[in-house]
Amino acid sequence: MPFSDFHGNADIVHRLREMLSRERFPHAVVLAGAQGSGKYTLALMLAQALNCLNPPKSDELPDFCGQCANCTRIAQAADLNARFAEAVEARENLRETDKKETRIFVQTHPDVLIVPPDPPQMMIKVDQVRRVIETIYYRPAEGRERIYIFTDSAFMKEAANSLLKVLEEPPEFATIFLLTENPGELLPTIRSRSMAFTLCALSPEEIERDLAQQHPAWKPSQRALVARLSEGAVGKARSFDLASYSAARDHALAILHSALRGGEHGELFKITESYRPGAEGREKTEALIRTLYSLLRDLVFIESGVPELIRNSDISAELQRLSESADFEWILVASDRLAEVERGMRRNLLRSLSLDAFAAALEK
């Protein structure tokens, strides 16, 4: 997968590749941008370009072959969610005493360490940065450059301070990527030692064009829906699970209908019952919450007299009907309750949710 496969933000990719060609690649790079804007994909591509065994050129700039041992092993980390889930599961299977001392990493190449936020707090912890410090001063074993990719900027305080020490004296053969949706979360002293790039969102039209190639089986109305829901994030659009979204949306609509129009609760209980605790249930519940937010936002657009901005454009008639029973105040209360449910989940990921209580609290 060479750089030409990276969609959008051509100017930033060009500048980064120019720095590769001058062999003056920065030691610390902040890649900022919304979820799915390609931060991780780009960081992995650069990790490949920095370590490719047969680096080709394209447009007279360094590229990577995608075929050599280094490229292919680094590419095995491309599905971050899957590798992360494997690492978490491996830790779950450890003895209780070892579990506490084990931190989550993703590593498919000896010189490329990927540091995701560590559950359950989903923060980067000091032990994770310690692993970076322990390895970063050794020359790379099989590549030319040691690469560290922090996939999130939610650092615990001590972890951020430790990282700062590394950035004050980085070895010449290492590069640290800091990925963030919000650069303000990083210590100013970390930011000032890094070179920052912000990946911009793509327009819905650009994403629709990309989806026409990626998902030719999708109908134009489905591509338009996904493009709007992805908010300019091409990675999010490409990997969008349309079937799950539709299923979650059916449930979210049923909850809103029941809350706004009252009536039969049997249907509602049948739905909430299907949201079970555990990892799978959590994912499903998160999808439901995201979908509820997206529908509530659309109701706000309709209430505000700008229905052309709604994201769920394929069901605009149904949303119009729903909006007749909703008003701003109700939407605000509903959003607050939803935020409460979300906070509860973050505090304790395993706790099953009382969606019934949530739905009941929304009732007019």
At closest approach, how far in Å is the CB of 345 from Zn ion?
A: 41
C-alpha triplet 330, 331, 335: angle, nearest 5°: 120
Closest CB to Zn ion among residues 65, 345 = 65
351/344 Cα distance (integer angstroms): 8
Q: Strand 112-115 to strand 106-109: parallel, antiparallel, or no bridges (unpaired)?
A: antiparallel
Q: Which residues form the interface with Zn ion (CB under 5 A)?
A: 52, 64-65, 68, 71
Q: How far is the CB of 73 from Zn ion (least distance, A)?
A: 10
Smallest gap from residue 3 Cβ to Zn ion (A):
12
Nearer to Zn ion, 49 or 248 (CB): 49
Nearer to Zn ion, 28 or 47 (CB): 47
CB of 68 to Zn ion, least distance (A): 3
As given in the structure block, the two tokens for residue 335 are 């959003």
Q: What is the C-alpha separation between 125 and 265, in angstroms, rounded?
A: 44
Whichever of 47 and 287 has its CB closer to Zn ion, that residue is 47
Q: What is the DSSP string of 224-257?
A: HHHHHHTTT-HHHHHT--HHHHHHHHHHHHHHHH
Encode 132-153: b = buried (16+ Cβ within 10 Å), e = exposed: beebbeeebeebebbbbbbbbb
Residue linked to tokens 């540091």: 115
Our CB check for Zn ion shows the closer of 10 and 69 to be 69
Q: CB of 136: closest distance to Zn ion in angstroms?
A: 23
